[in-house]
């Protein structure tokens, strides 16, 4: 099980300014050697848009943020991918995976939660992201923890759903020095996952 941690030490590809966002999307794809897996899409104000056509995943990456695309080699090319955007202490990672074996949402959420606990033995359970109530979105599972990053508390959460053959997962991490910040982080995680799922479901129709 892959683990993405609060403290990121990996190298990132810095995005260009909004005016160059379409080219920035192409540059991200080229830097990840992801041609034929991800596609550049028309940008939106403040965002660089990249899609994964096979799953329907739409990645809205912050213009001016640190962004990267990932193709995991454990699976067939393009069958296990992610996109990540990070700015101002907030990191959002979207995964799309088509497994070669049968899995369940409970297995997926428990696996990631266990990985977080192993990486952060001091992790404490936090209120999970609220369930999405919608007639158009699939069931999902969520789990959240308070962890320490450089001595400061932050919230890290994971949400998982299945759309067709694809497991869609969101990892969200943000500073949570107090309860108001923690609630805001939980709401942002819920909103991000809701938007991601809606995009995948819409493209699958």
Encode pLDDT of 73-128 as tens digits.
Answer: 999 999 999 999 999 999 999 999 999 899 999 999 999 999 999 999 999 999 76
Token output for 4: 């993405």
- Burial (CB count within 10 angstroms: exposed 0-12, middle 13-18, buried 19+), residue 122: exposed
Given this model, what pLDDT does residue 136 score? 79
Residues 13, 199: Cα–Cα separation, whole Å: 25
Secondary structure percentages of the chain, helix, strand, coil, to 5: 25, 40, 35
HSE value, Cβ hemisphere, 13 Å, CA-based, for 108: 24
pLDDT at 68 over 60: yes
Residues 120, 64: Cα–Cα separation, whole Å: 30
pLDDT classification of 146: cutoffs 50, 70, 90? very high
């Amino acid at each position: 099980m892959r683990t993405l941690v609060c403290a990121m030490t990996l190298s990132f590809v810095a995005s260009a300014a909004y005016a160059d966002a379409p080219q920035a999307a192409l540059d991200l794809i080229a830097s990840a050697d992801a041609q034929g897996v991800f596609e550049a899409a028309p940008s939106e104000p403040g965002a660089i848009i990249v899609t994964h056509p096979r799953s329907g995943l739409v990645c809205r990456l912050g213009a001016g943020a640190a962004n990267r695309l990932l193709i995991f080699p454990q699976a067939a090319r393009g069958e296990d991918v992610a996109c990540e955007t990070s700015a101002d202490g907030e990191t959002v990672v979207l995964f799309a995976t088509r497994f070669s074996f049968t899995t369940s949402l409970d297995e997926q959420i428990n696996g990631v939660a266990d990985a977080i606990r192993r990486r952060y033995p001091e992790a404490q359970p936090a209120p999970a992201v609220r369930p999405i109530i919608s007639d158009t979105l699939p069931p999902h599972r969520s789990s959240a923890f308070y962890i320490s990053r450089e001595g400061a508390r932050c919230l890290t959460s994971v949400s998982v759903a299945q759309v067709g053959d694809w497991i869609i997962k969101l990892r969200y991490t943000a500073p949570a020095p107090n309860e108001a910040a923690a609630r805001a982080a939980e709401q942002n995680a819920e909103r991000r996952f809701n938007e991601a799922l809606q995009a995948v479901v819409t493209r699958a129709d």
